[in-house]
Amino acid sequence: MMVKPEHKALEGQAALCVPRHVAIIMDGNGRWAAKRHLPRKIGHRQGVEAVRVIVRAAGEMGVEYLTLYGFSSENWRRPAEEVNDLMGLLRFFIRRDLAELHENGVNIRIIGERGQLAPDIVQMIEEAESRTRNNSRLKLIIAFNYGGQNEIASAMRRIAEDVKAGLLEPAEVTRDLVARYLDTAGVPDPDLVIRTSGEKRLSNFLIWQSAYSELVFTDTYWPDFSPERLAEAIAEYNGRERRFGGRNEDGASQA
């Protein structure tokens, strides 16, 4: 999708191809706080403020789908106090921002396991999804209590159950069919995956869907990730040549 640099973060740049789907691993809240000699919970709170800013900026830039990695299925291993703080921040985010997101045409979808979540959080998630279901300006997907390996294993179980029940033949199990059983069914694979804080790994995030995504890693901690940093990542994305396993013009095969 070609756009002119109408968002102020894109000023001074030529027209860019804005990725249809951007996914972000929001990392570095704790280190942001430690650098300032603040409690980790302050870093997480600042991270929520960054979410508000980036959701707004992504929509203004023309991104259609924005997926944010909010809480991984492995994060339960963190100290109970920190986990409780993160759960509280999800409650805070939904209560404070749901009305504004709805007014701005944002469609909210939460992916991940809900069985471990408190009943009031599940109710809030369902309300957010129901209230914004018909919105179409920006699809906001929040991965909460999510793990890519768990997602694939769950999809395989449901496929196996349907094969056992005679609803599917083994020969029908294709890549496209598997995608329809994932949490992200109906969502295009991310064009661009960004990770903040300097770490260079996916950490179990959208590992099926990101097979051919462009990866951009930035040293910026998530609370400091601004629309300008997002624009820089999009500009770097524009410098890549996506081949999806094909060949470039000189005939060399590429991954």
- Would you name the residues annotated as active-site residues? 27, 75
Q: Counting Cβ atoms within 10 Å, is residue 254 exposed (0-12), middle (13-18) or buried (19+)?
A: exposed
* Calpha distance 30→175 (Å, rounded): 38
Report phi then psi at 231, rounded to 5. Answer: -65, -40
Instruction: Estimate to the nearest angstrom the gap between the alpha carbon of 68 and the chain centroid.
Output: 3
**Burial readout 77-102 (b: 16 or more C-beta within 10 A, e: otherwise):** eeeeeeeebbbebbeebbeebbeebb
* Calpha distance 67→99 (Å, rounded): 19
Q: Kind of pairing, strands 192-195 and 214-217?
A: parallel
Give whole-number Cα distances, 13 to 7, 9, 19, in Å.
Answer: 11, 9, 16
The type of residue at 219 is D
